[in-house]
Amino acid sequence: MVLLAVGALSLLWYFTLIRIENEKQLAIAGSVADSRNVAAIVSANLDEVLGKTLLYSRIGQSMLNGEQSSSAYFNPLFNGDSAYLRVAMFDARGRLVYSSARQKSEPELSRLINAGFMSTLTGTGQQNQMIIKPPMNRDGYSWRVPLLIPLQDGKGALQGFFAAILDLGYFLKTYEEVSVDGASRIEIINTAGLQLAELSGGILSGGSNYAGQEYATFLLTGKGDGLIHALRPGDAAQHVGVQRRLAHYPLAVVVSRDQQVLLGKLWPAHRQYYLQAILISLLVVVLSGGLITMAHRRRFLYEKLLFSEREKSGLIQQLEQEKSRAYQLASHDYLTGIPNRMLFHELAATELSRARRSRNLYALFFLDLDKFKLINDTQGHAVGDALLQEVARRLRAAVREYDLVARLGGDEFVVLVSEIRSEEVVAEIADKLVETLRAPYPDLLGCEVQTAPSIGIALYPRDGQNITTLMTNADSAMYTAKSAGSGLYRFYDASLNAIAVRGLELLGRFRQALKENEFCLHYQPKVALQDYRVVGVEALIRWQHPEHGLIYPGEFIGLAETHDLVQPLGHWIIEAVCRQLAQWRDDGLPLVPVAINVSAKQLNDQRLIATVRESLQRHQLSAQWLEIEVTESCFITDLEQARQTLEKLRDEGLRIYLDDYGTGYSSLSHIKALPVYALKIDRSFVRDIRNDNSDGMIVASTVTLARNLGLKVVAEGVETREQLMHLKLMGCDEVQGFYLQRPVAAAQLAPLLQKGWFDFT
């Protein structure tokens, strides 16, 4: 506010002073212009008066020539010309011939002739030229100037003299009003620097000698008009002066004005400006002071309010902390720190409300520790509490961050796991929980403890639509597991328990199956919708089990992921695909690219790139015949590692497909950041593409998005001709599905490769 006030005052006074200074400059410029006009008028009139002197000299010369009648026109006073006091004629010897004053002698005029002018005139040839000299007597009338004009006859001989007394005072009196009202000073100066007459304030004076003074330097420059910049001798201050020299006579007219008097006339207006500026300044100061005082007052009140708000916020924060602490105590288990029964019911109900919009399973695991009462009784309650804390920690570490873990009381725990694709994965999670909690507890307050859980499993929505029903059924399944033995789990639906047994059996034989080549590949073609040519195939893993026959990947891929077997399985698939491509080439069949599915764990495999490179080199294949398909789940855990691995594969020459697009967690930024060649639309969006508008819009949007990003679009799960035609109209590039060809062994696919296209006519 202070800076604003200072700035406003500075501008106010700046413009006020500028205005005053401009008016002064304008006044001085106007004065100069007026003085020029006055000087021009005075010099013109003086030139006219002096011109009459020449006329009178011609009349006097006529008298010398014997024309006595000319004397009637020779008297200026008789002709009403009051500027001449008297005139006289002299012959060549300086004798008086005629005097307008009727005097017998004219001593003053005679002295003018006898002062040596005659010899000068006769010797220099300046006859008929006017000579203007200051008066020779000292009677105080310096403005009465004697004039002398030598006269010559027709042969150039001196004939006589015309002399006159010119009253410059009378001449200047006609400008008395200009001198008084205009505050002007009018001077007439001869070329020798002598002031002949001065009219200032209506008063006549004269006789000042400016010869050699800076004030009269204009007389030496020869300039006929201009400003006088020097201070006049005797003046206390510089006047604004203008000089104008007569063109035909040795005289100059000086008109000047007192600058202080001139500017003094502006003082009333300037005083008004100053008063206005002072009043406005006082108003600005008072207003600024008021605003500053108000601002200080408001700041004081604001600081008090802020202090009050801080105190209030502190109290609210303290209350929130107390509330949070109370809620923590009320909703979390005091011993383990995980949610208790109340909070678990609340969170689980929220989670199940979202589950209604999901196509996946939600599993509730009800856990009870075997022989916990015995441990409490023999080792003490402190060891039992330490065991419960360690169990809670292991459970929390065994599941995902967003899965729910709670302690219901005693040695009972519950775990709610969301978004599970199949019952086989549920069994794998149960196996993991059993193995995690079965592991020894080597140091619990100095004691080593062994225990195992009994787990009951209820699935949503199969075993219950709400958390209460799921808890009841999982509890029932837990007692079934407990009665069967220690360290077991059971599903509430007894028919699912066979999954657990089968999973353990498959897991035990997995490594042997890899060694004995029990796994095999089936191939499903990808067809271009433009001309129905076969442009590629997808390799799908199968397990040819010696007892159970052909097993599909849904039963064993989950086991491989959980028990770190997916990497050796992936190496086997890469080698098998390259071997099959080499076999087709050797059989003379046209080759098309083969796509291999790669999981998230395989993208973290340091040997993946080397395996691909070595297999291609071993079978002398180009990288263009191998494609990689990854799901969106590969980017959840470590996007940067996935991006680096995929870029290395692309640099090797492989194309990258994003499989099951639309069902995972990827975003558009992932698609832009990753070296993706094509998007594969999940079969769930193709199934009802003709009847479900939302599925149709998703597919159309995906096609548009891919076009804008320069990507290909492949649709999976095409099972009818209508779906095929609908996808073609939408602009999809390629399709695959049962309508075209089910996955078959390599031998069964050979005829199609040989033909190279489909005929739907």
Residue found by looking up tokens 């929505």 in the block: 461
Q: Which residues of 420-455 are buried (b: 16+ CB within 10 A; e: fewer)?
A: beebbbbbbbbbebbeebeeebeebeebebebbbbb
Average pLDDT over the chain, rounded to an integer: 85
**Which long-range contacts does 612-618 make (Cβ < 8 Å, 24+ apart)?**
612/574, 612/649, 612/652, 612/654, 613/652, 615/574, 615/575, 615/577, 615/578, 616/578, 618/578
Q: Which helix (H) or strand (E) holds 322?
A: helix 267-331
**Residues 87/149, Cβ–Cβ less than 8 Å:** no
Q: Which two tokens stand for residue 474?
A: 């999982």
Residue 228's nearest CA partner among 219, 220, 240 is 240
**Residues 718/528, Cβ–Cβ less than 8 Å:** no
- For the segment 460-493, what is each residue's pLDDT rounded down to a tens digit? 888 888 999 999 999 988 988 887 788 889 988 7
- C-alpha triplet 188, 194, 199: angle, nearest 5°: 35
Residues 113-122, mean pLDDT to the nearest whole number = 56
Q: For residue 301, is pLDDT > 60?
A: yes
Q: Which range has highest mean pLDDT (107-121, 236-250, 440-454)?
A: 440-454
Confidence of residue 318 (pLDDT cuts 50, 70, 90): confident
**Residues 151/161, Cβ–Cβ less than 8 Å:** yes
Q: For residue 351, is pLDDT > 90?
A: no
Q: Report in angstroms the alpha-carbon separations of 390 from 365, 366, 384, 430.
A: 18, 17, 10, 18
pLDDT of residue 392: 94
Q: Which residues of 352-382 are buried (b: 16+ CB within 10 A; e: fewer)?
A: beebeeeeebbbbbbbbbbebeebbeebeee
Q: Are strands 626-631 and 655-661 parallel, antiparallel or unpaired?
A: parallel
Q: Which two tokens stand for residue 308?
A: 């009050």
Q: Which helix (H) or strand (E) holds 648?
A: helix 639-652
Query: What does the alpha-carbon distance between residue 683 and residue 679 come to, in Å, rounded to a whole number?
Result: 12
Q: For residue 123, is pLDDT > 50?
A: no
pLDDT of residue 190: 86
Q: Which two tokens stand for residue 52?
A: 């009459």
pLDDT of residue 156: 77
Q: Write down the pTM of the prediction.
A: 0.43
Q: How many CA atoms lie within 13 A of 207 on its CB side?
A: 11
- The residues near 248 (Cβ < 8 Å, ≥ 6 apart) are 47, 50
**Residues 406/339, Cβ–Cβ less than 8 Å:** yes
High-pLDDT (> 70) share of the chain, %: 91
High-pLDDT (> 90) share of the chain, %: 29
Query: Looking at 320-329, 422-431, 470-479, 569-578, which range is the least confident one?
Result: 320-329
pLDDT of residue 678: 92
pLDDT of residue 385: 92
pLDDT of residue 224: 61
pLDDT of residue 454: 93
Could you say which DSSP state residue 37 is in? H
Q: Which two tokens stand for residue 658?
A: 């994003």
Annotate 655-700 with three-state secondary structure: EEEEEEECCCCCCHHHHHHCCCCEEEECHHHHCCCCCCHHHHHHHH
- For the segment 405-464, what is each residue's pLDDT rounded down to a tens digit? 999 988 999 999 998 888 888 888 999 999 999 899 988 888 888 899 999 999 988 888
Q: Which range has highest mean pLDDT (197-206, 259-268, 315-324, 726-735)?
A: 726-735
Q: Which two tokens stand for residue 350?
A: 């929220």
pLDDT of residue 561: 80
Residues 288-299, mean pLDDT to the nearest whole number = 88
State the burial class of residue 573 (Cβ atoms within 10 Å of its Cβ: 0-12, 13-18, 19+): buried
- 209 beta partners: 194
**Residues 723/686, Cβ–Cβ less than 8 Å:** yes
pLDDT of residue 321: 82
Q: Which residues of 706-737 are buried (b: 16+ CB within 10 A; e: fewer)?
A: beeeebbbbbbbbeeeebbebbeebebbbbbb
pLDDT of residue 406: 94
Question: Quick check: helix, strand or coil at residue 758?
Answer: coil
Enumerate the H helices of 399-453 as residue ranges: 423-438
- 678 beta partners: 657, 712
**Residues 115/131, Cβ–Cβ less than 8 Å:** no
Q: Which two tokens stand for residue 465?
A: 């639509």
- The residues near 230 (Cβ < 8 Å, ≥ 6 apart) are 213, 214, 215, 217
Q: For residue 668, is pLDDT > 90?
A: no
End-to-end C-alpha distance for the chain, whole angstroms? 88
Q: Which two tokens stand for residue 45?
A: 């009139």
Query: What does the alpha-carbon distance between residue 717 and residue 397 come to, in Å, rounded to a whole number?
Result: 37
Q: For residue 528, is pLDDT > 90?
A: yes
Residue found by looking up tokens 């009677």 in the block: 139
Q: Which range has highest mean pLDDT (146-155, 498-507, 721-730)?
A: 721-730
Q: Report in angstroms the alpha-carbon separations of 579 from 185, 209, 566.
A: 125, 131, 20
Residues 115-122, mean pLDDT to the nearest whole number = 51
Between 224 and 333, the more confident residue is 333
Q: How many residues does the chain have?
A: 761
Question: Quick check: helix, strand or coil at residue 189?
Answer: strand
Query: Looking at 6-10, 358-362, 572-576, which range is the least confident one?
Result: 358-362
Q: Are strands 594-598 and 626-631 parallel, antiparallel or unpaired?
A: parallel
Query: What does the alpha-carbon distance between residue 669 and residue 667 come to, in Å, rounded to a whole number?
Result: 5
Conformation bin of residue 122: beta by default, left when phi > 0, alpha when psi is -120 to 50 = alpha
Q: Which two tokens stand for residue 406?
A: 């709670």
Q: Which two tokens stand for residue 97?
A: 């011939």
Query: Looking at 33-37, 147-151, 257-261, which range is the least confident one?
Result: 257-261
Q: For residue 601, is pLDDT > 80?
A: yes
Q: Which range has highest mean pLDDT (262-266, 330-334, 461-465, 694-698)?
A: 461-465
- C-alpha triplet 170, 175, 178: angle, nearest 5°: 155
Q: For residue 77, is pLDDT > 70?
A: no
- 454 beta partners: 368
Q: List domains and CATH numbers for the chain.
A: 1-265 (3.30.450.20), 341-492 (3.30.70.270), 505-755 (3.20.20.450)
- For the segment 493-515, what is each residue's pLDDT rounded down to a tens digit? 755 555 556 666 787 788 899 89
CA dihedral 128, 131, 135, 137 (to 10 degrees): -60
What is the DSSP annotation of 524-554? EEEEETTT-BEEEEEEEEEEEETTTEEE-HH
Q: Report in angstroms the alpha-carbon separations of 557 from 87, 521, 567, 663, 716.
A: 147, 14, 11, 19, 20
Query: What does the alpha-carbon distance between residue 343 and residue 35 come to, in Å, rounded to a whole number?
Result: 105
Query: What does the alpha-carbon distance between residue 146 and residue 532 come to, in Å, rounded to a whole number?
Result: 133
Query: What does the alpha-carbon distance between residue 477 and residue 507 come to, in Å, rounded to a whole number?
Result: 24
- Amino acid identity at 245: R
Query: What does the alpha-carbon distance between residue 487 and residue 507 come to, in Å, rounded to a whole number?
Result: 18
- The residues near 681 (Cβ < 8 Å, ≥ 6 apart) are 661, 662, 699, 702, 713, 714, 715, 716, 732
Q: Report in angstroms the alpha-carbon separations of 419 from 57, 241, 684, 744.
A: 136, 106, 16, 31
Q: Which helix (H) or strand (E) holds 573?
A: helix 566-586
Query: Looking at 12-26, 113-127, 139-153, which range is the least confident one?
Result: 113-127
Question: Quick check: helix, strand or coil at residue 589?
Answer: coil
Confidence of residue 761 (pLDDT cuts 50, 70, 90): low
Residues 271-277, mean pLDDT to the nearest whole number = 90
Q: For residue 122, is pLDDT > 50?
A: no
CA dihedral 398, 403, 404, 405 (to 10 degrees): 0
